[in-house]
Amino acid sequence: MAVYMSDDLDITINGVDLSNHVTSVTFSEITDALETTSFGQNFRSRIGGLKDGTVDVEFNQDFAASSVQATIRTLLGTVAPIVLKPTGAAVATTNPSFTFSVLVDEWPTFGNAVGELATVSVSWPLTTAVVEATS
């Protein structure tokens, strides 16, 4: 897979495939930048510190059994596993999976104005290292 259009992202949350209700995902990993500059240096030097990350997800809300509300609201306050893949195809070097856990620390059940599509947006912090698999 070289360049592709993002129209088939695969996301599983706590073992439930919610791909058909997700309209946007932003998955970011970061690391602290620890300064190591000492006297005699005229340019700052740094090393990487603790890693962190977030996953931002936008859902089309759905109150049906085993769908968005039923799956996510019960996870509020807990740590849940997430698996992301660029497409719904099998895991491969061109379609790696990213597995990690998040703290489900927010769930805004409602948040739309009259006449708008019922959506829910969340930003959850990672609680584990990310495991990338290609097979």
Predicted pLDDT at 5: 86
CB 128 within 8 A of CB 100: yes
Query: What phi and psi values does residue 70 have, to the nearest 5 degrees?
Result: -65, -35
CB 100 within 8 A of CB 47: no
What pLDDT sits at residue 1?
54
DSSP-based helix, strand, coil % in the chain, nearest 5: 10, 45, 45
- CA pair distance 123, 58, nearest whole angstrom: 9
The strand pairing partners of 32, in sequence order, are none
Output the pLDDT for position 24. Answer: 97
Q: For residue 69, give the amino acid letter.
A: Q
Question: Which letter, b or e, does each residue of 65-81 get, where b requires 16 or more Cβ atoms within 10 Å of its Cβ?
Answer: eebbbebbeebeeeebe
pLDDT by residue, tens only, the chain of 135 residues: 578 888 999 999 999 999 999 999 999 999 999 999 999 999 999 999 999 999 999 999 999 999 999 999 999 999 999 999 999 999 999 999 999 999 999 999 998 999 999 999 999 999 999 999 999
Would you say 99 and 133 are in contact if contact means Cβ atoms under 8 Å apart? Answer: yes
